[in-house]
Structure 1
Amino acid sequence: MTPAGDDISQDPWAQRVYLTLLARDARYALAALEALVDLARSAPVPPAAWICFEDLLSFTGKVSRMLWPVEKKGKGQTDEGVRWRRARGAYLRDALAVEDESPLAAREVRNGSEHFDERLDEWIVHLPRPTLEDLQDGAITEIPAPPMRLVDAQAETIAVDGATLDLKLMAEELHRILARIEALEPSVAALPNPELAATLASLPPVPVIPFDAPAQKPDNIEAWLDEQKRTDSPPPDRHPEPGETQE
C-alpha cells in the first residue's frame, strides 16, 4: 500500500474527489440562490424563501471551507491530516484561480446567521427597559433595532445583522468555479446528478493492470499453464480389453 504524501498535485484520485464534491456543493448553492431570488419577488415573502436563504449560506459555507479550510488541529485529528488540509486548500484555490477577494471568502453574513443567537443576546442584554417615569418624563432613549435577516430581490442582496452579501457576484463566482471544475474533471459535466458524480468519484482507487504487465506470481502462472497442458493433451493409447474390438 502506498501512503498519501503531502503533494495533492501528484494525486489524481484525491483531486477528483475534492473537485467533484466541490462541484456538488456549488450546484446546490446555485439552486438555493436562484430559488431564493425567485421566491423573494413575492409579497409577502413566503416562508420557503427563508429555507432557501439558509440553504444558500450552508452550501456556500461548504464551498468556502473547502477552499479556505480551518488549519487548527481539532480533537481526534492528526498532524498528517492538518498538513494535507492546508495543502488541499492551497491546491484548490490555485487550480480554480480563486482570489482572496472572492465573495466566497466573505463570511460575515454566514457567521451572522450561524451565530444569530449570540447577536440576539447582545441586543437583549443592552436593550433599555423604560419605566413609567421615563415615559412621563419623555426620557426614553433610542431603542436599537433587533438583529434581522433581510433579502432584497430587486438589488439581489441578502443581509444579516448589517452584513450584506451580493447575490449577483456570488452567482458569477459559483458559475465560474463550476466551469473550471468541469474543464479539469470532465466526468462532472458528464453526470447531471451531482450526488451520483460525488459518490462515484469517492470510490477507492483501484490500480489498472495492463494486459502486458508481468505476472506478480510467476509460479502460480506456470502451474496454471501446466494444468492447461495436461487438460488439452490427448488421452494415452489404450490397448483393447479381451473380447473388445478396436476400430
Structure 2
Amino acid sequence: MNSLKEFIFIGEITLQAKIAQRAAERLRATHNKRDNLETWCSIQSILVAAGNVSKILWPNKAYKARGESLRKFLGIDESNPLSSRKFRNHFEHYDERIEEYFKNHSGGVYTDMAMNPSFNSGIFGNEPLETHRGYNSFNNTLVFRGETFDLDAVLTALNDILNKCKPYSLI
C-alpha cells in the first residue's frame, strides 16, 4: 500500500479514533457532575466517530475492495466490534425507531435518555422494559430497548486500530 488515497483514509481513521478518545474523556468527567447533556453529547461523539471508522473499514458494496485492502494492510480482524453498525444505527436513525415504536404502541410511558437504567427499574440488574436509550455509567454500557452495547469494547477497538495507524499517519 503506498497510494495517497490510502494514507488519507488512515489519517481520517486516526482523526476519528482521537475524537472518540476525547469524547470518552469528557464522558468519564460527567460521571460525578450529573450533566446529562454533556453525557449524551459525548456518547453521540463516540458513536459517530466509531461509525465513521466502520464506514471506512467496512464500506458499502461499491467500495468493498478498499475496506478489505485497508483491513489487510492494518491487520484488522473481520470480527472487530466496529464491523457491526447495528447499535450505532439505533442512535443515528432514532427518528425511524420512534416511528416504528409508535406503529405498535399507542401511548403509555416513553422513557428515553435514562441514566443508569438498570437501577431505575427497582429490580437490580434488569433494564426497565420501556427504556429506549439509556446509559449505565457504572459499566460504561448503552441500552437500547433491552439491547446492551459495551462502549469500552468499542473504545478498545478504536485504540487498537489507532495504534496500527500511527506509523502511517501524520496526525
Same fold? TM cut 0.5: yes
Q: Which residue of 2 aligns with 1:22?
A: 13
The change in CA–CA distance for 1:122 and 1:179 in structure 2 (over 3 A counts) is same
- C-alpha contact (below 8 Å) 2:132/2:144 kept by paired residues: yes
SS in 1 for 2:142: strand
Q: Which residue of 2 aligns with 1:91?
A: 69
Q: Which residue of 1 aligns with 2:59?
A: 69
Give the alignment partner of residue 150 of structure 2, picking from 166, 173, 181: 166
Identity across the alignment (%): 27
The change in CA–CA distance for 1:112 and 1:169 in structure 2 (over 3 A counts) is same
Query: Which structure has more RCO (C-alpha within 8 Å, separation ≥ 6)?
Result: 2
Count of aligned pairs between the two proteins: 152
Q: Show structure 2 runs of 5+ residues with no match.
A: 109-127
Return the offset for 1:51: 1.0
Return the offset for 1:128: 4.8
Q: Which residue of 2 aligns with 1:151?
A: 135
**CA separation in 1, counterparts of 2:6 and 2:95?**
37
- C-alpha contact (below 8 Å) 2:81/2:157 kept by paired residues: yes
**CA separation in 1, counterparts of 2:57 and 2:15?**
14
**CA separation in 2, counterparts of 1:54 and 1:121?**
20
The one-letter code sitting in structure 2 at the alignment partner of 1:161 is R
**CA separation in 2, counterparts of 1:116 and 1:27?**
25
Q: Which residue of 1 aligns with 2:38?
A: 48
SS in 2 for 1:57: helix
Return the offset for 1:129: 6.2
**CA separation in 2, counterparts of 1:94 and 1:121?**
39
- C-alpha contact (below 8 Å) 2:129/2:146 kept by paired residues: no
Question: Is residue 112 of structure 1 aligned with residue 90 of structure 2?
Answer: yes
Q: Show structure 1 runs of 5+ residues with no match.
A: 1-8, 72-81, 131-143, 189-193, 195-247
Per residue, is there more helix in 1 or in 2?
2
Question: Is residue 121 of structure 1 aligned with residue 111 of structure 2?
Answer: no
Return the offset for 1:146: 4.0
Return the offset for 1:164: 2.3
- C-alpha contact (below 8 Å) 1:109/1:159 kept by paired residues: no
Q: Which residue of 1 aligns with 2:116?
A: none
The one-letter code sitting in structure 2 at the alignment partner of 1:67 is L
Return the offset for 1:114: 1.5
- C-alpha contact (below 8 Å) 2:129/2:145 kept by paired residues: no
Measured against aligned partners, the alpha-carbon deviations of 1:32-69 in whole angstroms (never above 9, x if no partner) come to 12322331x13644211111111111111100000000
- C-alpha contact (below 8 Å) 1:119/1:147 kept by paired residues: no
**CA separation in 1, counterparts of 2:14 and 2:56?**
11
Give the alignment partner of residue 175 of structure 1, picking from 155, 159, 164: 159
* TM-score, normalising length: structure 1: 0.55
- C-alpha contact (below 8 Å) 1:28/1:59 kept by paired residues: yes
The one-letter code sitting in structure 2 at the alignment partner of 1:54 is Q
Return the offset for 1:147: 5.2
